[in-house]
Amino acid sequence: MSRIPALAAAFAPHAELAGELLPHAFAAEDGSHDASHLIRVWKNALRIQAEEGGDIRQLAAAVLLHDCVSVEKNSPLRAEASRLAAEKASAVLGDLGWSPADISSVAHAILTHSFSANLAPETLEAGILQDADRLDAIGMVGAARCFYIAGRMGSGLYDPLDPLAEERPPDDKAFAIDHFETKLFRLSGGFQTGAGRRLALEREARLRSVLAMMLDEI
């Protein structure tokens, strides 16, 4: 039996929309960008939207489709992933009869959510999606995802001679915890909403605790 109806229920109050979009939401088997990631991003988006406002239907579509095209982290095309996802999402929503204005808003949110794309959100919905997605990259879950991706890419956990890259250039393609400093600890300073910034500071503190505990055990 398909799991889609059960998964769709997690996207209330837009479970019906989720049922329509989930078949288009995944492009590859990737445990860091799977249904659990979408559900966590949706919960983050709901928390932010409750304080900041924004069109919740557009947010639901943007969350569900923001990773609908998969480009590996080590691919030279990585910066194009959000553009490709925005194009696919536009086609999917067009087939469902969404208005051009709503499609454009969702596509913009997807286009600008990615760190790799380096594009600034220009709407509240886009800012919320970016914040909600980045919250899942920091904190305890962010640490777990970082190590999971490092394993998929064939990276080591850390440099045994210089874990904190104090006497070498950091290399997050070779060592997982180098990614904490090269990217993850830099995310909290770029959040778009007040609610997102507050949550980001809480999660960054957790991420720093994970690193401190790991260094203590090393």
pLDDT tens string 28-86? 778 888 999 999 999 999 999 999 999 999 999 999 999 999 876 666 666 788 999 99
Name, in order, each residue with C-beta under 8 angstroms of 198's C-beta and a sequence gap of 6 or more: none
Q: What is the pLDDT of residue 75?
A: 65
Nearest Cα to Cα of residue 86 among 72, 100, 69: 69
- Mean pLDDT across the chain: 93
pTM listed for this prediction? 0.93
**pLDDT tens by residue, 131-161:** 999 999 999 999 999 999 999 999 999 999 9
Q: What is the pLDDT of residue 1?
A: 38
Distance CA 158, CA 179 (A): 10
- Look up tokens 């909600």; give the residue: 132
